[in-house]
Amino acid sequence: ETGVTQTPRHLVMGMTNKKSLKCEQHLGHNAMYWYKQSAKKPLELMFVYNFKEQTENNSVPSRFSPECPNSSHLFLHLHTLQPEDSALYLCASSQDWIGETQYFGPGTRLLVL
């Protein structure tokens, strides 16, 4: 599938590193999302962007910084992460933000050492 792509697919970083996750959607959607998926936990919504504007920040620590330069691209900038931040980070998009189907990317598997 090429609808929603994410890079890198795997990332190992130290607690003092700075890295960025990238998401791109080729579906012409207007809303994009970042989710965190940890083992034995439900999918946790982190951020929502609608028409490039952030509409939701689900009490995410400031060491996660999102950026949405246009409706097709979404970034998650990471700095001074903790080992408990290790998880699968999933990007999703939907046509708009009103109860529409969300399409997920393959995710970035992040390991913080």
Measured from the CB atom, is 15 or 96 closer to another protein?
A: 96
Please tell me whether residue 99 adopts helix, strand or coil conformation.
Answer: coil
Query: What's the DSSP call for residue 9?
Result: S
Q: Where are the alpha helices (DSSP H) in 1-112?
A: none
Provide the CA 81 distance to its chain's centre, in angstroms: 15
Do 110 and 83 meet the contact criterion of CB atoms below 8 Å apart? no
* 107 belongs to the binding site for another protein (CB under 8 A): yes
* 111 belongs to the binding site for another protein (CB under 8 A): no
Residues 20-39 that bind another protein (CB under 8 A): 31, 33
Least Cβ distance, residue 75 to another protein (angstroms): 19
Stretch that binds another protein, among 13-21, 64-72, 75-83, 99-107 (CB under 8 A): 99-107
Measured from the CB atom, is 75 or 103 closer to another protein?
A: 103
User: Does residue 42 have a cis peptide bond before it, meaning omega lies within 30 degrees of 0?
Assistant: no
Cα–Cα dist 53/1, whole Å: 27
Cα–Cα dist 40/33, whole Å: 21
Pick from 28, 42, 69, 83 the residue near another protein by CB under 8 A. 42
Pick from 34, 64, 89, 97 the residue near another protein by CB under 8 A. 97
Least Cβ distance, residue 48 to another protein (angstroms): 5
